[in-house]
Structures are given as C-alpha cells and as structure tokens.
Amino acid sequence: MNLDKVNRAILAELANDGRVSWRDLAERVNITLTPLLRRVRHLEEVGLIEGYSARLSEAKLAGTMSVFVSVQLEKQSESALRAFESRIKLAPEVMSCHLMTGNADYLLRVVVRDLDDFQAFLLGKLTSIPGVSNIQSSFALKSIVQRFAPLPK
C-alpha cells in the first residue's frame, strides 16, 4: 500500500503513543481534526491499524533475560506441529514462537528473570512436550533494536 507523508506520520505517532488525543495528534501531523479522523478511520478500515493496546513492561512482569530457543521435533506431521503449538501457547515465558525453515522447526523467544527460571521453563515445560527431539538455546547479551510496530515506509 502506498502511504503519503501524512498517513506515515499518523501511523508513526500512534505507534509511539496510542493514547494521544485526536487534537494533539492532528497538531503533531499538522492537519485539522476532521481530516485526521477521516484518515485514521480509513487506516483502521484497510487494516493498517489493527487495534490499540498498552505496552506492558516486559522487564518488570517477566524478566530481563531473553533466550532464543531453537526446537526440533521428532517428526513434522500436521498433528505433531499442532500438538506442539497448542502446548507452547500456554507457556507465559514464551514471548514469540515462529515456525521456521532450516534445521529448527521452531524459534522461540523466551523471557525469564534468571537462569533458574529458564531451567524451570526448560525442564518443566519445554521438554515435557511430546515429540520435542532437540533444543538449542542462545542467550541475548544486548537488545539493539526492538520495535513494537513496523516503521511506515
């Protein structure tokens, strides 16, 4: 979708502060209120704005240790994939789970407070999922870029 400069500015402002008032948003993007509201409604209708939410403190609620975990399954049948996915969705430590190509079937981003919490997740949850055959973990040392929304082009 081709976005003009004003729509890109609206999206960037809303991604940064979803609670901004309509008046303040209109001022920030340098248009009047009525055209702003029309543009926002259009961006919602075409699906570029999917909703509004609060950005919770991951560090305070879950921890500061990010671990990327590659998971291989014994077999990649549809039922095995579904079984893994239904169980992994129940683990609150898992911030994201992606079905992958290549050596690993899944890549997880797990957030925990410390090594003891990670060990509890690993032994109490991940290894108890039937069909898991191999697990490799990499600990993130520092986050360089972490966006909560894509940058509008």
Q: How many CB atoms lie within 10 A of CB 116?
A: 9
d(CA 135, CA 45): 42
Residues in the chain: 153
Tens-binned pLDDT, residue by residue, of the chain (153 aa): 789 999 999 999 999 999 999 999 999 999 999 999 999 999 999 999 999 999 899 999 999 999 999 999 999 999 999 999 999 999 999 999 999 999 999 999 999 999 999 999 999 999 999 999 999 999 999 999 988 888 777
**DSSP secondary structure code for residue 113 in this structure:** S
Find how far residue 16's CA is from the centre of its chain.
15
d(CA 149, CA 93): 21
What is the model's pTM?
0.85
Domain limits of the chain? 5-45, 58-139
Closest CA to 128 of 80, 77, 81, 88: 88
Angle between helices 33-45 and 5-16 (to 10 degrees): 80
For residue 43 the two structure tokens come to: 């961006």
Spell out the CATH class of 5-45.
Answer: mainly alpha
Assign a CATH topology to domain 58-139.
Alpha-Beta Plaits (3.30.70)
